[in-house]
Amino acid sequence: MIMQEKTLSYLESHIPEMAASAVTQAYWQALASGNTVLESQNGALYEISPDGTRKKLKNIAAPTTVVRGEKRRLK
């Protein structure tokens, strides 16, 4: 049982890097298939085209800082 817990803990510790890798892969796959993607940077939302052009769509609010373990209620 302890071995299973160690294995599970090890796998869970790698979830953030696996998720980041999956998002990056999806980003490039979308562009490679001819679609545009959205990206936020410096308080603005941009549309990125497969040819590399960036079009500013609008200004957006700053990200919400969340402390690990904090519970938030969505409206």
pTM of the model: 0.71
pLDDT at residue 48 in the model:
98
Digit-coded pLDDT (tens) for 39-62? 999 999 999 999 999 999 999 998
Cα separation, 16 vs 33, whole angstroms:
26
Buried/exposed code over 27-42 (b: 16+ C-beta within 10 A; e: otherwise): eeeebeeeeeeeeeee
Cα separation, 36 vs 47, whole angstroms:
6
The domains of the chain are located at 30-61
- Chain length of the chain: 75
